[in-house]
């Protein structure tokens, strides 16, 4: 069965990309960084900094933009599109939140029902960035801080449909490049105004949870998807050059910043996508990256709660339990979500 250029490599053996591998590497990088930081593991600062070259969040955001561009083109209606996004995100998220709350209630006592209910609602919807003060004493102070990206991705899902309808008919790459520059400058400008001029911490934190700040990252993926016929062959051939340039930006730190560094992110993502299509044989099944993202901080907080820090053995515990939970989530709840997505597509196809 031939797959579309934007499809995941986890479905068939004859995959044409290994984007699953890229996503898993990105998830592992996020997990590694959080674990080393919060468990206070001994590591050379230069080596630790080098692990951030494959920065997980920019990769996830850009790949979301890339894959959603193809997905939107296959949907018959906005309703169908949102239903499928719902089944992709929320079942596994709700399962992780339930485990997160259960573990926290069993291990921690300084909470009240009202705050816990509000916190559970926030974790399960769009407000994953909010933690009530009564829960700040548990673990690292944030029960699952990695979930802040969920709200940003959901915001992207909501607006991506309309952006596609406006831009998919405009194949002028010059206008797309100008659009990217505008997206970054808006992010950069608002970030400057909010953080440096107003210096309002609350407004700054709220702005950091909006799609406006990170839309330029999603834009990278959308651009590649829109011009895939010309761009992908080039990226497949010169993926290593892209990663080399990305590393120069990364190590020199000569770059523009708005949430993440622009030069580093652009060449990192383009190099990785090129690699994914150049070496499809490195596909990975199943794609457990979402599960790793959901569960690793739950495990980290348990260890911090018991003062299990300072030794690399504890990293192995985090990695092992996160891997197990992610795998179980993917092959159970995740598989159910895939079935529901297919049912949505079939139901809309009958109309």
> For residue 13, which phi and psi values (nearest 5 degrees)?
-70, -25
Residue 172 scores a pLDDT above 90: no
| DSSP line for 179-206 | HHHHHHHHHHHHHHIIIIII--HHHHHH
Residue 196 scores a pLDDT above 90: no
The pLDDT value recorded for residue 14 is: 56
Range 249-258 average pLDDT: 96
The pLDDT value recorded for residue 7 is: 42
The pLDDT value recorded for residue 1 is: 30
148-159 pLDDT, tens digit per residue, is: 999 999 999 999
Range 234-240 average pLDDT: 98
pTM: 0.93
Task: Locate the domains of the chain by residue range.
Answer: 19-349
Question: What is the band of 195 on the pLDDT scale with cuts at 50, 70, 90?
Answer: confident
Which region holds residue 75: left if phi is over 0, alpha if psi is between -120 and 50, else beta?
Answer: beta
The pLDDT value recorded for residue 351 is: 65
- Percent residues over pLDDT 70 in the chain: 95
Q: Write down the residue that tokens 């933690």 correspond to.
A: 131
Residue 9 three-state SS: coil
95-150 pLDDT, tens digit per residue, is: 999 999 999 999 999 999 999 999 999 999 999 999 999 999 999 999 999 999 99
Q: What angle do CA 43, 103, 341 make, to 5 degrees?
A: 95
- Percent residues over pLDDT 90 in the chain: 85
Residue 163 scores a pLDDT above 60: yes
Range 8-30 average pLDDT: 80
Residue 11 scores a pLDDT above 60: no
Q: Would you tell me the crossing angle of helices 262-278 and 56-74 to the nearest 10 degrees?
A: 60
Query: Hey, how many other C-beta atoms are within 10 angstroms of the C-beta on 112?
Result: 11
**Does residue 89 contact residue 26 with C-beta atoms inside 8 Å?**
no
- Distances in Å between the Cα of 275 and the Cα atoms of 28, 176, 215, 265 are 18, 23, 24, 15
The pLDDT value recorded for residue 6 is: 40
Q: Which two tokens stand for residue 224?
A: 């590649």
The pLDDT value recorded for residue 280 is: 96
SS3 breakdown of the chain: % helix, strand, coil, rounded to 5? Answer: 75, 0, 25
The pLDDT value recorded for residue 199 is: 75
Range 176-192 average pLDDT: 95
Residue 61 three-state SS: helix
Residue 57 scores a pLDDT above 60: yes
210-224 pLDDT, tens digit per residue, is: 999 999 999 999 999
- Distances in Å between the Cα of 98 and the Cα atoms of 59, 92, 120, 298 are 27, 10, 8, 11
Q: pLDDT: is 204 or 349 the higher one?
A: 204
Q: Is the peptide bond before 286 cis (omega within 30 degrees of 0)?
A: yes
Residue 92 scores a pLDDT above 60: yes
Residue 83 scores a pLDDT above 80: yes
The pLDDT value recorded for residue 13 is: 44
Mean pLDDT, the chain, whole residue set: 93
| DSSP line for 255-301 | S-EESEEHHHHHHHHHHHHHHHHH-GGG--SS--HHHHHHHHHHHHH
From the list 61, 2, 50, 78, the residue with the least C-alpha distance to 26 is 61
272-308 pLDDT, tens digit per residue, is: 999 999 999 999 999 999 999 999 999 999 999 999 9
Question: What is the band of 338 on the pLDDT scale with cuts at 50, 70, 90?
Answer: very high
305-331 pLDDT, tens digit per residue, is: 999 999 999 999 999 999 999 999 999
Q: What angle do CA 212, 215, 218 make, to 5 degrees?
A: 160
């Amino acid at each position: 069965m031939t797959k579309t250029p934007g499809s995941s490599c986890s479905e068939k053996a004859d995959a044409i990309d290994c984007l699953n591998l890229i996503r898993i590497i990105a998830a592992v990088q996020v997990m590694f960084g959080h674990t080393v930081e919060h468990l206070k593991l001994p590591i050379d600062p230069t080596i630790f900094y080098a692990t951030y070259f494959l920065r997980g969040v920019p990769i996830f955001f850009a790949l979301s933009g890339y894959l959603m561009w193809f997905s939107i083109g296959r949907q018959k209606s906005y309703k169908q599109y949102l239903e499928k996004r719902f089944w992709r995100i929320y079942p596994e998220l709700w399962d992780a939140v339930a485990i997160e709350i259960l573990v926290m209630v069993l291990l921690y006592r300084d909470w009240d029902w009202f705050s816990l209910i509000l916190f559970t609602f926030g974790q399960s919807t769009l407000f994953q960035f909010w933690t009530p003060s009564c829960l700040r004493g548990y673990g690292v102070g944030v029960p699952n801080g990695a979930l802040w990206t969920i709200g940003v991705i959901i915001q992207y899902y909501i607006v991506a449909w309309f952006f596609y309808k406006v831009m998919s008919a405009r194949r002028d790459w010059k206008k797309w490049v100008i659009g990217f520059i505008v997206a970054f400058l808006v992010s950069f400008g608002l970030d400057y105004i909010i953080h440096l001029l107003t210096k309002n911490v609350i407004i700054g934190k709220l702005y950091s949870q909006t799609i406006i700040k990170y839309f330029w990252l999603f834009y990278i993926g959308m651009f590649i998807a829109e011009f895939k016929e010309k761009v992908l062959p080039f990226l497949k051939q010169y993926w290593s050059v892209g990663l080399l340039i990305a590393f120069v930006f990364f190590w020199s730190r000569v770059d523009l910043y708005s949430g993440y560094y622009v030069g580093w992110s652009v060449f990192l993502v383009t190099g990785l996508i090129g690699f994914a299509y150049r070496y499809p044989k490195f596909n990975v099944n199943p794609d457990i990256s979402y599960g790793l993202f959901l569960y690793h901080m739950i495990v980290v907080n348990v260890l911090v709660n018991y003062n299990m820090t300072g030794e690399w053995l504890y990293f192995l515990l985090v990695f092992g339990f996160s891997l197990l939970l992610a795998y179980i989530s993917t092959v159970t709840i995740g598989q159910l979500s895939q079935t529901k997505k297919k049912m949505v597509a079939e139901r809309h196809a009958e109309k």
